[in-house]
Structure 1
Amino acid sequence: MKKLEKVNYKGFIWPLIIGIVLYALTPIRPSGLTPQAWEMFAVFVATIVGCITKPLPIGGTTLVGLVCTVLLGLSPIKDVVDPKTGAVVTTGVLSSFGNSASWLIAMAFIMAHGISKTGLGNRIAYNMIKKFGKRSLGIGYAITGLELILGALIPSNSARSGGVVWPVVESVAKGYDSNPNDESRKKIGAYIDFTAFHANILSTALFVTGAAPNMVAQQMAAKQGYSISWIGWFIAAIVPVAIGTVIIPFVIYKIFPPQIKETPNAKKWADDELQKMGPMSLPEKIMSAVFILAIIMWALSGFFKLPQFDSTFVAFLAVAILLVTGVITMKDALGETGAWNILIWLSILIFMAGKLISFGFIGWFSKTIQTSLHGVSWGIVLAVLVLLLFYTHYFFASGTAHMTALYLPFLSVAVATGAPLALSAMLLAFSGAYNASTTHYANGPASILATTGYVKQGEWWKMNFVLGLIYLLIFGIVAPLWMKVIGLW
């Protein structure tokens, strides 16, 4: 006899309470807001809370929010078109699924499947260990370098961490008889596990395609009038990330040192694994060529404003080549559920944020904060906003939900108080990458690497607090100075 699937009904309690209370306050909403603006705010907040409490997977939660948006008359299903001019008067919810950022990430997930399927990711990992693995600190830097390379190839920080890096970390640790959940974890496993997490943060910060929250920031910045290109993000991030790449593994090595300092067997282990893999296969070669082509085209998109260099089109082109050459199959693409899941929830969240803008909520919020901060210098305001965006992540289990909820309002406030648009957009966007240095539930990689048994929860929180301060210093001081040098503001 078939049974119903399990649903976390308790997870609906807080979204419902908050949504209903906010909606009921519509008659006494703040002056300057239309009823539609406040009602849309109620639905949006309830949806974000649902993304945190997770009554359903995030795709299902946002779909419920989209249904509520239509049921409450806040948006039609289809676009409403003026019969005389043919212009769109009101955007319908179906238009949300034409969002380019969502499709870019979906296609990039499918590209990532090709890296895993062909074994290219493992080959890169073993070669990195082979070259830098003579010492524990060297392995830490090798893992960081591996993450930085994968950051350009795999747009999902969880896929990079869980699918490629963690298996390598586990293999290296157990190769030195460093096992989870006992004292042997301190031999080397705990150090490289925690270093792998922070390597993921750095790789996420280096590329706009490094993780979904970056793409959310890119889309939200565009709504404020600032375009973040692939190459533009990379150039702005390269110096602070380079400094972090040098400092972070060394700091972890000092505050959380491995008992094993020398690792002479790492090279042999990597050699053995490469021997098992054999020479580079034809699928690996095609996969490498396709990703090199995609990276070049993404970089050139900052210089050539042509449809052929549009970042989303590049991702479609790469997937098409992989399908035509037989590196992946359509079954592989359809089976990559993460791609289609993110297409749904990211499209919906961006659509809802757009409705908050069109109904005037964001404009009202910006003006209200601007008035309350009258006379305060934009530098102080921007610093406070960056700190708030970082430390409020203790209340979020999803980087995407966090950025969707706060990035655009914070950016609007910063600009309204006189802060340069480009500087504000990039500093707040970077915070969405390194604010994962907070909790064991901060994002997907944290959930993966904090639960392996190598690092205790108390250690995770304590060391992340220290490293969080380092990230704030690097991205709060070095990044603005570097962006000034390159003329971004």
Structure 2
Amino acid sequence: MSTNANVVKSEPQKAGFDYWRKRAGIPLTIIIFTAVLMMPTPVGLTLAGKKALALLAALVTLYLTEPVELTVVSLMILPTAVFLGLGSTKVVLENFATSSIFLLVGATMMAAAMEKTRLAERFTYWLLSTIGCSARNISLGVTLANVALAFMVPSTTARTAILLPICLSIIHMYEKTGEYQKGQRLNFAISLLLTLAFTNSTISAGVLTATVPNPITVDFIAKAGTVITYMDWLMYGFPPAIVMTLFSWWYLRKVFKPEREEIPGGKELITQKLNDMGAMTSPEWRTLFVFLLVVALWATGGITKMDTTVACYLGVSLLFLPKFGVIKWKDTNRDSAYHILMMSGGALAVGEFLMKTGAAKWLANSVFHSLGLAGASSLVVIGAVLFIVQFSRIGFFGTTGLTVLFMPVLIALAATANLPAAAVALPAGMLIGGFPFLMFYNTISNILIFGTGYLTVGDFPKVGGVLCLVGVIVYTICATTYWRWLGLF
């Protein structure tokens, strides 16, 4: 495996920073929480609103410092909110039981069947062997695999875990079949790994169940009075997502041009992997049938009037049936489903407090007037907001915390600008979930590819900054043109 001095040097520094960041998390949170509570209540903000802001400040601090697991942070919200008088136990817990959250939990259960039967893995090998094994086709194959897996596996981390070993095997073969100096950084390796992570994220913006911020965004928009279904999200989000996914693939190949296009033995490697799996098994066929059934029910929801979450759990139930099913409860009883439930529920609870107490509106008014957006067109307002949301992620690990911070404020800001909540919150939510690659620490997927040793810290902003800016432009145009024509607002 290739190495790089900058990467090696950064590892102990990163470890030291992470250690002190986590050690400082709890005391720093207490200090910030207390400071916000004790400060004089600003003009236009209620006492309850100030308490909600204190809770938000504490939550964001815990998200940034990570002294405990993020799911534990959500557990802390319940007693803290009740102690502050922001809501009753019942009110807080209602946010942990929304339709969108359980849709994502159900999709995670379906993914367990994909994983157990190895259907997703088989599809990936089949796609790569069909497209071909030149440097161009391999990176394109990984891109298209990400597109397909976004519908099957509701986690960017899980999809990266499926594709990363395949990419590393191909990179090792590329190294062995060429004459390169020891320690030389290969553009092919850099491009392929960044393509894996970046296109994994960009396509997530187009599929409701592909990543956690999407259903959280839908729930916040629902609180503002607009219902976004699975097919609505696909109709609005998939076209710009596929455009940005293919653009990202093209741009990465232009910036990191491969040393050569030929990969001797590449096709044989993929074909051998596929042959080793043998013919499709009965459990794989049954899993494929259930998956296609659920997708068909989602696509025809406008006709059948069947809720997307109900359709998902119908499929999940079939996967558990005796004789027909392919999974047992122990196969789905894993951390990811509970992680989604707790993280999303806690985020929604804090967002609701901000909206009900008027804190979100107060923040939105402050931001709106400080930016001089009064009287600006919808194009300018949406573009400015998306730019701020996108480039503020440089200080965030993960995407859920960013969603929690911005969604309540954006919905209130939309009202201040006389725009529907969805006009601002929907493109912002898609950007948050789909473009987390300014820095390597923005998502676990980035960290996984960074940990291979082929990448440096600077690789991410070098190409990620451009892609993020293009993403802001694309989603601003979509929100102000064809989304409006489709009736979003």
| TM-score normalised by structure 2 residue count | 0.88
Match of 2:208 in 1: 208
Are the counterparts in 2 of residues 186 and 259 from structure 1 also a CA contact under 8 Å? yes
Rounded to whole Å, the distance in 2 between the matches of 1:38 and 1:64 is: 18
Q: Aligned partner of 2:42: which letter?
A: P
Deviation sequence 1:29-63 (CA, Å, 0-9, x none): 12333222211221122012201211110011221
Q: CA deviation at 1:408?
A: 2.5
Rounded to whole Å, the distance in 1 between the matches of 2:185 and 2:109 is: 35
Residue number among 307, 313, 316 corresponding to 2:313 in the alignment: 316
Rounded to whole Å, the distance in 2 between the matches of 1:341 and 1:99 is: 15
Q: CA deviation at 1:182?
A: 6.1
Change (3 A) 1:102 1:322: same
Query: What secondary structure does 2:268 align onto?
Result: helix
Are the counterparts in 1 of residues 63 and 401 from structure 2 also a CA contact under 8 Å? yes
Map 1:351-366 onto structure 2 (within 5 A): 351-366=349-364
Are the counterparts in 1 of residues 204 and 241 from structure 2 also a CA contact under 8 Å? no
Rounded to whole Å, the distance in 2 between the matches of 1:266 and 1:471 is: 33
Deviation sequence 1:161-195 (CA, Å, 0-9, x none): 12x1212212222233369x964651632221111
Query: What secondary structure does 1:327 align onto?
Result: coil
Change (3 A) 1:42 1:305: farther
Q: CA deviation at 1:100?
A: 2.3
Query: What secondary structure does 1:379 align onto?
Result: helix
Q: Aligned partner of 1:166: which letter?
A: L
Q: Aligned partner of 1:413: which letter?
A: L
Q: Aligned partner of 1:30: which letter?
A: P
Match of 2:389 in 1: 389
Change (3 A) 1:229 1:399: same
Rounded to whole Å, the distance in 1 between the matches of 2:170 and 2:26 is: 42
Rounded to whole Å, the distance in 1 between the matches of 2:59 and 2:198 is: 30
Rounded to whole Å, the distance in 2 between the matches of 1:421 and 1:242 is: 24
Rounded to whole Å, the distance in 1 between the matches of 2:70 and 2:312 is: 24
Rounded to whole Å, the distance in 1 between the matches of 2:174 and 2:447 is: 24
Is 1:110 aligned to 2:124, yes or no? no
Rounded to whole Å, the distance in 1 between the matches of 2:41 and 2:353 is: 18
Deviation sequence 1:337-356 (CA, Å, 0-9, x none): 11112211211221121122
Match of 2:462 in 1: 462
Rounded to whole Å, the distance in 2 between the matches of 1:222 and 1:394 is: 28
Rounded to whole Å, the distance in 1 between the matches of 2:244 and 2:86 is: 45
Rounded to whole Å, the distance in 2 between the matches of 1:10 and 1:353 is: 25
Query: What secondary structure does 1:248 align onto?
Result: helix
Map 1:322-401 onto structure 2 (within 5 A): 322-324=319-321, 325-334=324-333, 336-369=334-367, 373-401=373-401
Are the counterparts in 2 of residues 128 and 142 from structure 1 also a CA contact under 8 Å? yes
Change (3 A) 1:344 1:236: same
Match of 2:447 in 1: 447
Change (3 A) 1:305 1:97: farther
User: Which has the larger displacement, 186-195 or 150-159?
Assistant: 186-195
Identity, % of aligned positions:
24
Is 1:121 aligned to 2:130, yes or no? no
Match of 1:258 in 2: 258
Residue number among 44, 50, 62 corresponding to 1:38 in the alignment: 50
Rounded to whole Å, the distance in 1 between the matches of 2:343 and 2:203 is: 23
| TM-score normalised by structure 1 residue count | 0.88
Query: What secondary structure does 1:177 align onto?
Result: helix
Residue number among 63, 83, 88 corresponding to 1:76 in the alignment: 88
Rounded to whole Å, the distance in 2 between the matches of 1:234 and 1:421 is: 18
Are the counterparts in 1 of residues 387 and 469 from structure 2 also a CA contact under 8 Å? no
Q: CA deviation at 1:370?
A: 5.2
Are the counterparts in 2 of residues 104 and 312 from structure 1 also a CA contact under 8 Å? yes
Q: CA deviation at 1:425?
A: 3.2
Are the counterparts in 1 of residues 187 and 256 from structure 2 also a CA contact under 8 Å? no
Map 1:262-341 onto structure 2 (within 5 A): 262-263=262-263, 265-301=265-301, 303-304=302-303, 306=305, 309-324=306-321, 325-334=324-333, 336-341=334-339
Residue number among 50, 55, 73 corresponding to 2:62 in the alignment: 50
Map 1:145-156 onto structure 2 (within 5 A): 145-156=144-155
Change (3 A) 1:270 1:236: same
Q: Aligned partner of 2:86: which letter?
A: L
Structure 2 residues not aligned, in runs of 5+: 1-20
Q: How many residues are aligned here?
A: 463
Deviation sequence 1:57-102 (CA, Å, 0-9, x none): 001122123221122333332x3xxxxxxxxxxx2x3333322222
Map 1:412-451 onto structure 2 (within 5 A): 412-451=412-451
Rounded to whole Å, the distance in 2 between the matches of 1:67 and 1:280 is: 50
Are the counterparts in 2 of residues 33 and 364 from structure 1 also a CA contact under 8 Å? yes
Q: Aligned partner of 1:169: which letter?
A: C
Query: What secondary structure does 1:188 align onto?
Result: helix
Rounded to whole Å, the distance in 1 between the matches of 2:380 and 2:473 is: 15
Query: What secondary structure does 2:205 align onto?
Result: helix
Are the counterparts in 2 of residues 110 and 333 from structure 1 also a CA contact under 8 Å? yes
Structure 1 residues not aligned, in runs of 5+: 1-6, 80-90
Match of 1:177 in 2: 175
Change (3 A) 1:488 1:178: farther
Deviation sequence 1:295-316 (CA, Å, 0-9, x none): 2222223x1473xx22222232
Match of 2:32 in 1: 18
